[in-house]
Structure 1
Amino acid sequence: MKPSVPSPRRAAPGRPRTIGATLLAGTVLLSSGCAVANSAGGDTGRADGRTLRVVLTQEPPTLEPCEASLTGTGVVVRSNITEPLVERDPASGELNPLLSTGWKQTTPRTWTFGIRSGVTFQNGAPFTAEDAAFSIDRAVNSDLACNVEGYVFGDEDLRVEAVDDGRLTVTTEQPDPILPLRLSFVEIVPRTTDTGAKVRIPIGTGPYAVRSWQPGAAISLDRFDDYWGEAPAFARARYVWRGDASVRAAMIDKGEAEIAVALDPMEAEKDTTAAYPNNETTALRLDGREPPLDDLRVRRAIDLAVDRGGIIDALLGGLAEPAAQLVPPGVVGHGDGIEPTRQDVGEARALVEEASADGVPTGRQITLVARNGMFSGVSETAEALQYQLREIGLNVRVRMADTATHLQYLLRPLPEDVGPVALLIMHGNQAGDAAFTASQYLLSDGPQSTFGTEHLDRRIAEAGALSGERRQKAFADLFAEQNDSVVQYAHLAHMNGLLSLSRSIRYEPNSATGDELRLAEVRPAEGAKP
């Protein structure tokens, strides 16, 4: 069994972003809403030194723990109200025990987990293996349609058994070398939690408990005095939300909040801001079902036409790195040797002309769909891409869409009779393993893929059964093959997030901050008292 690790405080584990991925927090986002400080979303309260005030981009859609892999929920719930059995260190990628004390694979399909003793839920009940088994069964095997079930576990059910208070076994349908990583997405709740409906106010084992949720106004937390780990510095926390990035920044300047998420690049030079790599990657997804995008030459031409450096410098404030694959460095499966495509307008134009000469309708209008508020400068980025694709002889129009419309293009079943589509996406792999990306974006029938190849599908399945260095190499090779023989994606940039922090606190953001903002990691600045 993996050695027990004392974990009075833990590093924030990485989390995947799902269909609600970019609605909130962490990335360089800008909502289309407009507000004035303290005019919407509730009052942040006074600067009393005991309350940590956080301003988000919008109200969380839910606080249900089984939906915590959605960014808008996880940024409040994860590591603050609830905790999982296993944590992933976002810097090293290592898995560490949390509510579990360790684990081992006892058969090809069965894993055994030790359960930490001396842990109490916020309702006063002791935490045991029975609660862990209940939480996994509720999140993965129930009819609640939890986000974590579809994104992390797919259609697979788990057989879960509490052997005794301190031991749990989990059996999968097929051997799964990364089951402990998958379980890091399951937040633990008491076995008395409703199984017929999702909860509004969650109960967990974390350092904070929910005091109140005022719809449209604020969410307030109190420090949980019986927390099993190290007590957080601040006695209370209060979340409010503002749609305008400039308002969020101004709230820090005016002393109305201690943390503001998702700032504009124009704020980057302030000494109150902190930039950090957030595992988000932007790309154009090319729908290969429709001509001219069904022609490999045209897709390669689009990849060659993109001026990644120019877009990053001029429109993203330099807060990004050119991308060559859907996952950034630090994720298992990232290929260090895969270089971003260098812009070559001449070669791109020649490929389009060659395809046209062979009868490909390269003059057919391609719709470039982008979502309002996806990141700061998204509309300008879409217009730059439109210009660059027109320069190589393609007919492109831009459609800026709201979230609901963009999701229709993003997820299967994909819309019909809309013509060829190049969809601007932003994907975050906070899980730290390329399997979550490949299953969603590269499989022929993946939920966020428009096409693929049988050969690539087989390689994805084979890679998912491997572990260690063999797994790393197999997934890196998959991304290289995508770039060479499929080209469903023209990758743009690995993005950075930007926080604003009051001078009264100290906090070091990491690659998981956008999905899991751990309040216990925030400390008063020297001389300031909580």
Structure 2
Amino acid sequence: MSFKTLTMSLFAGTMLAGASVAAPLQVAIDSSPAGLDPHLITAFNSVVIVQNNIYEGLTAIAQDLSVVPALAESWTISEDGKTYTFKLAAGVTFHDGTAFDAEDVAASIRRVQSADIASPLASRVTPITSINIVDPLTIELGMDAPFAPILTSLSTVAIVPAEAETNKEALQQVPVGTGPFKFVEWQPNGFIRLEANADYRVAGKPSLEGVTFNFVPESATRQVGVTSGQYHLLPGIDPATALQLQGQPNVTVEETRDLSYTLIGMNAERAPFTDARVREAVNYALNRDEIIQGALFGAGVPAGPLSPALVNWAIDTSEYACYTQDVEKAKALLAEAGVTTPVKVTMPVLPRQDVRDIAQVVQQQLAAVGIEVELVNQEIGQFVQDWRNSNFDMFASANGGSPDPDEYFYRTFRTGGSTNVFKYSDAEIDSWLDAGRSETDAAARKATYDEVQTKLACQGPAAHIAYGNYFTAVNAAVQGFEIYANGRLTSLVDVTLN
């Protein structure tokens, strides 16, 4: 009996018995990803496909946002906090059949650090100054000073084959990882198909035959598909879609507080946003509650620099004076900065419905203080390219959050940070961020990041808008799915279909 015949026989038998089946999971997303290289991608539709499905890191983030082992089974920390020794899982292979070992870990970290690769993750591993391969399954990472968030940061650095270290193109179209699902096919404007990794390091996992990510631009089509069972999962849906699917037969809308946030970015090297008073004026012009009601149907809370989900870190937004809308104050600040109104600027908009809706409300609110905004709608590839090249006056977007403040703040607001597309530079912020990543005392770190939040909230280059509720629509055939606040589909490894 062929493998295909055997699979079909098992499928029929389990369907008759009403048990779970090892069938492909059908996921619907709104567009094709811009690429699949885990060290280069930034867009949601890329990340949701590759992270934790195709690729794994040394560590992983659990549903409660704690750090857990992944490709590293365990680790020890030196007494001075500067050296971490990782014991790697044995018997792991990449999807191309090659063995995984410490050299792949070393090459992956060097790749993310490489200026030629220009990874947006680079700031997360810059403190690593030495890499010592002790043996094929043991690796030491050394630093010149303690780096408090290292275990969290390493969860975001996918391990790729060592052969890809200097190749910037190979993994964008054909990813090769160690995760529970391996890449099979990419049909442009159609789908990306993954199949179960039969040699996955966790025995008996995954239960699914595979996962197909279907590119379905029309929201209505995705909604009909998940209710009919054509699609099993709609990850990261906007609040309007979530509202429409609530109570629909055969569908559950899973919900959690999102670590991701929406924002209005400002180019600190382009007038008038070179002046901190102008950036502060933008914040005073905004009414975040109105934006949340109008664009997110009330499903969210005003966003400070850190998500309220990070209960040990985030300052309540009520403490920020600029979060109380004051049109006259905004006009006064613009006048102090010497800005003649009306001033005209352009704003590229991330092609996502909630962000488009937010941008329209922001456009109206800024017009009231004399900032006339032209919205520029782009496809995702062009938006990401302009974002990375700092080719904007302002932009409207969404960004993924992190369990540790350093992961967001350092790469985004540190001078020269790997995602500091704002071209923002502030010596005081730099000194706080340097201290925050090397400080190991929890109370001292908290005090440092309180300073960072307070300054960035009103005068930084990002006007944080909202932390929404993160929604995923799940068809009744799906069992074992768990929603993660970081937006990853980590639980697919445990999912079955009835």
Q: Tell me the TM-score range normalised by the shorter chain.
A: 0.7 to 0.9
Residue identity over aligned pairs, in percent, reads 21
1:424 aligned residue: 396
Q: Structure 1 residue 239: deviation in Å?
A: 1.9
Matches of 2:215 and 2:474 in 1, distance apart?
A: 16
For the structure 1 residues 491 and 126, does the alpha-carbon distance in structure 2 shift closer, same or farther, using more than 3 Å as the test?
A: closer
Write the letter of the residue equivalent to 2:339.
P
CA contact (8 A) 1:69 1:185 kept: no
Q: Structure 1 residue 112: deviation in Å?
A: 0.9
Q: Structure 1 residue 460: deviation in Å?
A: 1.9
Write the letter of the residue equivalent to 1:400.
V
TM-score, normalised with respect to structure 2: 0.81
Matches of 2:186 and 2:267 in 1, distance apart?
A: 42
CA deviation vs aligned residue, 1:443-468 (integer Å, no higher than 9, x gap): 35542234443222222222221133
1:384 aligned residue: 361
CA contact (8 A) 2:310 2:403 kept: yes
Match of 1:397 among 364, 367, 373: 373
CA deviation vs aligned residue, 1:195-246 (integer Å, no higher than 9, x gap): 5452343333322233333444332222223322142221222222112222
Q: Structure 1 residue 304: deviation in Å?
A: 2.6
Match of 1:438 among 374, 398, 409: 409
CA deviation vs aligned residue, 1:340-379 (integer Å, no higher than 9, x gap): 657655x4314524763x5823414142514152342x44
2:60 aligned residue: 87
Match of 2:351 among 373, 376, 392: 373
Matches of 1:452 and 1:145 in 2, distance apart?
A: 19
CA deviation vs aligned residue, 1:65-122 (integer Å, no higher than 9, x gap): 434665333322222223221112242x322212212222335543211122243444
Q: Structure 1 residue 266: deviation in Å?
A: 2.8
1:99 aligned residue: 71
Match of 2:485 among 503, 511, 523: 511
Q: Which has the higher helix share?
A: 2
Matches of 1:151 and 1:439 in 2, distance apart?
A: 7
Write the letter of the residue equivalent to 1:472.
K
CA contact (8 A) 1:100 1:113 kept: yes
How many residues are matched?
A: 464
| In the alignment, structure 1 residue 52 sits paired with structure 2 residue 28 | no
Secondary structure (helix, strand or coil) at the match of 2:178 reads coil
1:302 aligned residue: 282
Write the letter of the residue equivalent to 1:442.
F
Matches of 1:338 and 1:449 in 2, distance apart?
A: 26
Gaps of 5+ in 1: 1-46, 416-420
Q: Structure 1 residue 380: deviation in Å?
A: 4.0
Secondary structure (helix, strand or coil) at the match of 1:66 reads coil
Matches of 1:140 and 1:189 in 2, distance apart?
A: 14
TM-score, normalised with respect to structure 1: 0.76
For the structure 1 residues 516 and 466, does the alpha-carbon distance in structure 2 shift closer, same or farther, using more than 3 Å as the test?
A: farther
| In the alignment, structure 1 residue 178 sits paired with structure 2 residue 144 | no
Query: Which range moves more in the overlay, 316-325 or 178-187?
Result: 178-187
CA contact (8 A) 1:52 1:236 kept: yes
Matches of 2:367 and 2:323 in 1, distance apart?
A: 14
CA deviation vs aligned residue, 1:457-487 (integer Å, no higher than 9, x gap): 2222222211333223311221112336x35
CA contact (8 A) 1:324 1:339 kept: no
2:260 aligned residue: 280
For the structure 1 residues 198 and 362, does the alpha-carbon distance in structure 2 shift closer, same or farther, using more than 3 Å as the test?
A: same
CA deviation vs aligned residue, 1:10-63 (integer Å, no higher than 9, x gap): xxxxxxxxxxxxxxxxxxxxxxxxxxxxxxxxxxxxx98612111122223333
CA contact (8 A) 1:312 1:493 kept: yes
Gaps of 5+ in 2: 1-19
Write the letter of the residue equivalent to 1:164.
D
CA contact (8 A) 1:248 1:261 kept: no
2:328 aligned residue: 349
Matches of 1:412 and 1:65 in 2, distance apart?
A: 19
Q: Where in structure 2 are the equivalents of 1:472-491 lying within 5 Å?
A: 472-483=446-457, 486-491=459-464
2:210 aligned residue: 236
For the structure 1 residues 151 and 71, does the alpha-carbon distance in structure 2 shift closer, same or farther, using more than 3 Å as the test?
A: farther
Write the letter of the residue equivalent to 1:318.
G
For the structure 1 residues 252 and 159, does the alpha-carbon distance in structure 2 shift closer, same or farther, using more than 3 Å as the test?
A: same
Write the letter of the residue equivalent to 1:437.
Y
Write the letter of the residue equivalent to 2:157.
V
2:179 aligned residue: 206
Question: CA RMSD, aligned part only?
Answer: 3.3
CA contact (8 A) 1:85 1:183 kept: yes
CA contact (8 A) 1:277 1:497 kept: yes
2:125 aligned residue: 153
2:422 aligned residue: 449
CA contact (8 A) 1:284 1:490 kept: yes
| In the alignment, structure 1 residue 224 sits paired with structure 2 residue 203 | no
Q: Structure 1 residue 428: deviation in Å?
A: 1.9
Write the letter of the residue equivalent to 1:382.
A
Matches of 1:361 and 1:191 in 2, distance apart?
A: 52
1:321 aligned residue: 301
For the structure 1 residues 284 and 142, does the alpha-carbon distance in structure 2 shift closer, same or farther, using more than 3 Å as the test?
A: closer
Matches of 2:163 and 2:276 in 1, distance apart?
A: 54
For the structure 1 residues 51 and 95, does the alpha-carbon distance in structure 2 shift closer, same or farther, using more than 3 Å as the test?
A: same
1:8 aligned residue: none
| In the alignment, structure 1 residue 253 sits paired with structure 2 residue 227 | yes
Matches of 1:161 and 1:175 in 2, distance apart?
A: 17
